[in-house]
Amino acid sequence: MPTLIRTEADVRSSHLRAFRLDETRVALVPEQAVLLAGDHVEVHVRVGAGRVLELVEPGGSVAYAMRGSSARWDVRIEVEDGGSLVWHGQPFVVAEGADVSRRLSIELGTTARVVLHETLVLGRSGEEPGTLVCRTDVQRNGVPVLIEELDAFVGLGLHRVVDQVLCLGSGCDGDGLVLESGDRLHRWLGAETHLSPIRVCQSSPSEE
């Protein structure tokens, strides 16, 4: 997996290209159509001690019908002490016939901060939902903060949209689920993305 950006932070990916927008912002853009049957997208983000990074996705992603096959989307994030990451994720649509496994792994230093926005959409307009299983593992200095597996088939009922912001570290306030660590998970379930009340984010890391 080649390194695409190496400045204050490293951003590496197998299917996405990173473009530097300024000193702290990087855009992630697909190099090809994703997500297709058999694809395994990997993204690794590392933010060094005291550094800041803001990731921007100009457009959403679609997992297309896979005709009995499947695909994976794995993200690994490491943020060292004093580092800050804000990731403005765009909608991830799981079309009818798609079978997708998503895995998010986050390792934090003691004073690290992460604000991560994710929007998952089951099916395009007029479609039945695809199959989606999301696994999340967040640790701070090796201590679990959030470990979760969300199976869209059994865990969302009639809802087609999951919109959420995971806020880890300083500046996490407002409504939402307060984790034992004091971090927060803001989550909304509904029918249409534009109905979500969730907004990102409290502030850019460069403004802290």
Take residue 100 and report the two structure tokens written for it. 């997708």
Each residue's pLDDT tens digit, 17-27? 999 999 899 99
Q: Which residues contact 143 (CB under 8 A, 6 or more apart)?
A: none
Contact 138, 147 (CB under 8 A): yes
Each residue's pLDDT tens digit, 144-163? 999 999 998 887 878 999 99
Torsion of CA 187, 191, 193, 196, to 10 degrees: -50
User: What is the DSSP pairing of strand 9-13 with strand 3-6?
Assistant: antiparallel
Each residue's pLDDT tens digit, 79-119? 999 999 999 999 999 999 999 999 999 999 999 999 999 99
Work out the pLDDT band at 126, boundaries 50, 70, 90: confident
Instruction: Report domain extents, the chain.
Output: 3-203
* pTM, two decimal places: 0.89
Mean pLDDT of 165-172: 91
The answer for 60, left when phi > 0, alpha when psi is -120 to 50, beta otherwise, is beta
Take residue 28 and report the two structure tokens written for it. 């992630």
